[in-house]
Amino acid sequence: MPAAKRAVHALPAPYLLFLGDAVEAGFAKTALGLRDWAPDRCLGEYALPTATVTTGLPRMTPAEAAAAGARALVIGVANQGGVVPASWMPALLAAIAAGLDLVAGLHTRLGEIPVLRDAAAQAGTRLIDVRVPPPDLPIATGAKRSGRRLLTVGTDCALGKKYTALAIARGLQARGVDATFRASGQTGIMIAGEGIAIDAVVADFAAGAAELLSPAAADDHLDVIEGQGSLFHPSYAAVSLALLHGSQPDLFVVCHQPARALILGTPGYQVPPIEAVIEQTVAMGRLTNPAIRCAGISLNTAALGDREADAEIERTASRVGLPVADPIRGGTAFDRLLDACAR
């Protein structure tokens, strides 16, 4: 990505992860993602009494975390609408009073909240908004770019597209493949240190932002692009489509959580079959890459035991006729998926 267009974020670490009042793990994906992929930067967690989600890190108050060396409170919740509710304000003000910077990837920008802005100015701390796209984004051209691209897509949101992209990128790098993880969401940006939050881009420029996210590269280079939302999500399909058209993937991996029946946060909408997602992604992706194809399936089997997970992976592979794996579990199934992604 050209330096002038990159959204680079050098964040103050270590972090105290704020879980707010989260009661569903899907809405705490920022905190959980940082715990799993940047554990060296995570010191502890801080939550409101009503929260039931935990990262498993030590519980600390902002003052305790600051005394232990924390430099920032990271809002680890990605709630619907990306807002900062009033119930969080005492906790955020306590963090500022303890001398911590605040880092957020929400749609609501910290610097636009007067009480936080005034408190930070008085305390000499910073308010850092990660979900801010770079200026002067272009409209997409649809022009073919050199290099290869893989996009993770989903049957729903918040079920493993980021984890899958990170695992595939790191797995291929370990094999000596020239592969780069490209972050398209706030948590991925916090992990990678750069990227563009696609869902914060004005709609006319979203596909253009996706083109910038995965620029022209050497023919043997593979960009592994973090997917967003789902083409079948009534709220977020638009950002999924812009990312699909702009990234022009040669390959895609469908991410799915076997135990999930309903689209997250939207009662009444069923999670689509994997086969429907493959068909829809190919049909819509052909607009900018006629050669697009599905490399395999990534299953989030965190809710299953080892034997149940193995059985589900085998059943799905037999049904769809493609490599299927849980990248977090690894093993020979994941090796087969990496083989397919490397071709």
Digit-coded pLDDT (tens) for 319-336: 999 999 999 999 999 999
Lowest pLDDT segment from 9-18, 52-61, 219-228:
9-18
At 5, phi and psi to the nearest 5?
Answer: -105, -10
Phi, psi of 235 (to 5 degrees): -95, -35
| DSSP three-state, residue 34 | helix
Which residue type sits at 254?
V
Q: Is pLDDT of 110 > 70?
A: yes
Mean of pLDDT over the chain: 93
Domains 3-129 and 148-342 share a fold: yes
Give residue for tokens 């975390």: 65
Domain 3-129 is classified in which CATH homologous superfamily?
A: NAD(P)-binding Rossmann-like Domain (3.40.50.720)
Q: What is the pLDDT of residue 187?
A: 87
The CA distance from 261 to 294, in Å, is 23
Domain boundaries, the chain: 3-129, 148-342
110 φψ region: left (φ > 0), alpha (ψ -120 to 50), beta (else) = alpha
Closest by Cα among 297, 340, 337 to 315: 297
Strands (E), 21-62: 42-47
This prediction has a pTM of: 0.85
pLDDT in tens, 123-169: 999 999 988 888 889 999 999 999 999 999 999 998 999 999 999 99
Q: What is the CATH number of domain 148-342?
A: 3.40.50.300
Whether the Cβ atoms of residue 301 and residue 334 lie closer than 8 Å to each other = no
